[in-house]
């Protein structure tokens, strides 16, 4: 029995997936109840009157090349949110299984787990140690009920990375009884090695990637789940048909040309430089008590009053994120790195009383 079948919800193993209309582009389509005419002002190449390709093979091949993995180990979805939701629905039996996470972290892990009716086990990060993982606490919290361990690296909202050797050790420990899901949405901004190179060594390792951050495609909503092929096959069974819209596919393929990728690399380096510069500038503000180290495209900033920082930023024309709702980030704000001009204007606005 494959690992995916061993860990999956039993009901999914007998599920008959939805059968979409046959996809043969060389033939005229009268099999999918589509409108035969394009809508007015349709500028798409494929035509918005037609359903998109059920399995976006060209997009999958391009993303597989980008991440250096075979296409059969990759699933494309509508942002990482869809990938997270599919994992929860595929592997968690409501009222029986549990998800383990280390807050403060990306909020959709908890939301998706609760929607699925799974228990949520939390091992808080250690703020006193720059939000590193409490490995002793994590070990104590592991049990046979934990089917998914969700770790974000670099973590949102703290910005810290988890060393690859620590993630590998945890994957070995979980081995054949739980999946280790590593969310690398911000890894392009980090000097820490991705765990992609470890994929073949750990059949229970699942990696999440996105085009929203480093590649400037947040509006396109494209996330990627990378894992062993048996896990990907299971997720395909429960993914809705035609999930990637035609304009999205065409926009992404245009945005991932070699020339565009070179420009993205330049901008990533510019952003990393601005991250360092903004961190130093924020440290000079009297109301800032700490700027935490970050390997992402944002900074977590502790201050005397998060509410005051929010008000000053708004007066200067900016929205920043108040993350004080979590006990581990009391009186903290998260600031995304902008252009040099934006960063300078924000600091000046925060400096004014």
**Residue 30: pLDDT above 70?**
yes
- What CA–CA distance (Å, rounded) separates 12 from 157? 34
In the beta sheet, which residues pair with residue 288?
303
Report the C-alpha gap between 46 and 52 in whole angstroms. Answer: 8
pLDDT at 241: 86
What does DSSP assign to residue 132? Answer: B
- The average confidence (pLDDT) of the chain is 94
Mean local confidence (pLDDT), 68-79: 95
pLDDT at 12: 87
pTM equals 0.94
Check whether 1 has a pLDDT greater than 90.
no
Q: What is the pLDDT of residue 40?
A: 94
Q: d(Cα 182, Cα 194) in Å, to the nearest integer? A: 10
Give residue limits of the domains in the chain.
3-15+52-256, 259-351
The sheet with strand 288-291 has its strands ordered as 288-291, 298-303, 332-336, 321-322
Q: What pLDDT score does 233 carry?
A: 94
Pick the CATH number of 3-15+52-256 from 3.90.1010.10, 3.30.465.10, 3.30.365.10, 3.40.640.10: 3.40.640.10
Per-residue pLDDT, 242 = 87
Peptide bond into 82 cis (omega under 30): no
pLDDT band at 79 (very low <50, low <70, confident <90, very high): very high
Section 101-117 average pLDDT: 97
Compute the C-alpha angle 233/241/30, nearest 5°. 125
**In this predicted structure, which of 88-97, 130-139, 238-247 has the lowest mean pLDDT?**
238-247
| Count of residues making up the chain | 353
Tell me the pLDDT tens digit for each residue of 141-157.
Answer: 999 999 999 999 999 99
Q: Using an 8 Å Cβ cutoff, are 145 and 97 in contact?
A: yes
Number of neighbours of residue 328 by Cβ within 10 angstroms = 17
Just give the CATH number of 259-351: 3.90.1150.10
For range 304-314, the mean pLDDT? 96
pLDDT band at 353 (very low <50, low <70, confident <90, very high): low
20: pLDDT confidence band, cut at 50, 70 and 90?
confident
* In contact, 51 and 34? CB cutoff 8 Å: yes
């Amino acid at each position: 029995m494959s690992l995916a079948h061993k860990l999956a919800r039993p009901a999914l193993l007998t599920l008959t997936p939805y059968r979409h209309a046959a996809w043969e582009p060389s033939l005229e389509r009268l099999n999918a109840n589509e409108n035969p005419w394009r809508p007015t002002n349709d500028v798409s190449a494929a035509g918005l009157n037609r359903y998109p390709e059920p399995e976006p093979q060209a997009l999958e091949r391009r993303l597989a090349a980008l991440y250096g993995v075979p296409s059969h180990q990759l699933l494309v979805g509508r942002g990482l949110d869809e990938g997270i939701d599919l994992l929860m629905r595929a592997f968690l039996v409501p009222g029986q299984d549990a998800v383990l996470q280390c807050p403060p972290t990306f909020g959709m892990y908890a939301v998706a787990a609760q929607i699925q009716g799974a228990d949520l086990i939390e091992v808080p990060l250690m703020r006193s140690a720059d939000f590193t993982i409490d490995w002793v606490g994590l070990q104590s919290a592991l049990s046979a009920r934990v089917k998914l361990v969700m770790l974000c690296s670099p973590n949102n909202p703290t910005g810290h990375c988890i060393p690859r050797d620590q993630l590998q050790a945890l994957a070995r420990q979980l081995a054949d009884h739980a999946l280790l899901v590593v969310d690398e949405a911000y890894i392009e901004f980090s000097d820490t090695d991705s765990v992609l190179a470890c994929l073949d060594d750990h059949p229970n390792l699942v990696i999440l990637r996105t085009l929203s951050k480093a590649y400037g495609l947040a509006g396109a909503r494209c996330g990627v789940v990378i894992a062993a092929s048996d896990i990907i096959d299971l997720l395909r069974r429960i993914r809705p048909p035609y999930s990637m819209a035609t304009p999205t596919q065409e926009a992404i393929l245009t945005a991932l040309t070699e020339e565009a990728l070179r420009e993205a690399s330049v901008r990533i380096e510019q952003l990393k430089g601005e991250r360092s510069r903004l961190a130093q500038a924020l440290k000079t503000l009297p109301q800032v008590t700490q700027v935490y180290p970050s390997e992402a495209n944002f900074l977590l900033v502790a201050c005397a009053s998060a509410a005051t920082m929010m008000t000053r930023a708004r007066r200067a024309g900016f929205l920043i994120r108040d993350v004080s709702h979590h006990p581990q980030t009391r009186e903290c704000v998260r600031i995304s790195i902008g252009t040099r001009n934006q960063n300078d204007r924000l600091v000046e606005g925060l400096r004014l009383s």
